[in-house]
Amino acid sequence: MKRSHYFIAVPLTSEAKQAISRFSGDASSSLPFRTWVHEEDYHITLAFLGDVPPGKMAPLCEAMAAVAAKSAPFSLALAGLGTFGERTAPRIFWQGVKEEAALNELRRDVYEACLSLGFSLDRRPFAPHITIARKWQGEAPFQPEALRSLPAASTVFSVPEIVLYRTNMEKTPKYETIAAFPLLGAPDGRSG
């Protein structure tokens, strides 16, 4: 049986997804990346979990519900473009978001809760982004300066929940919502 991979993420609103999709449709004609992410798969990963054994699913959901319950809803603004990987042949092309303390706090709380449950997580610093394309395939090297002239998506969207997703590699879109956890905290301050 094929193992599934799971992750906790901030979902995007339909409006934000459509704004990025319009941009990526335009950008795909001039940027030869192998794969462009399906509009329904746009998200901001908070913690990549890998395989989740059946016995850990209920404690994971309880922990995410507790994190979400103390976190207040907030808004994010799309801003900036970038890449990860080799400078001249990037593996990831992404849309960024403006710095937001509430997102960083939420990610910290999600990350710590997952670590306490025994998950082995990526130790790199949090770099919030929305992957829009993968694997540079241009005949010429990628030119990072080219990103400056692109009309990146720009919109503000609300974050009312976090989601536990499962990856289905054989499907498109490939990310399936397993559970959603509403952010229920008071907007004027966080408990904890």
80-90 in b/e burial notation, b at 16+ Cβ within 10 A? ebebeeeeeeb
CA-CA-CA-CA torsion sign (102, 59, 40, 172): positive
Alpha-carbon span 143 to 175, nearest angstrom: 30
Could you identify the residue written with the tokens 């710590």?
Answer: 112
| DSSP for residue 4 | P
Query: Under 8 Å CB-to-CB from 146, ≥6 apart: which residues?
Result: 30, 31
| Selected catalytic residue, list 17, 43, 107, 134 | 43
Residue 43 known to be catalytic:
yes
| Selected catalytic residue, list 17, 107, 129, 134 | 129
Catalytic positions? 43, 129
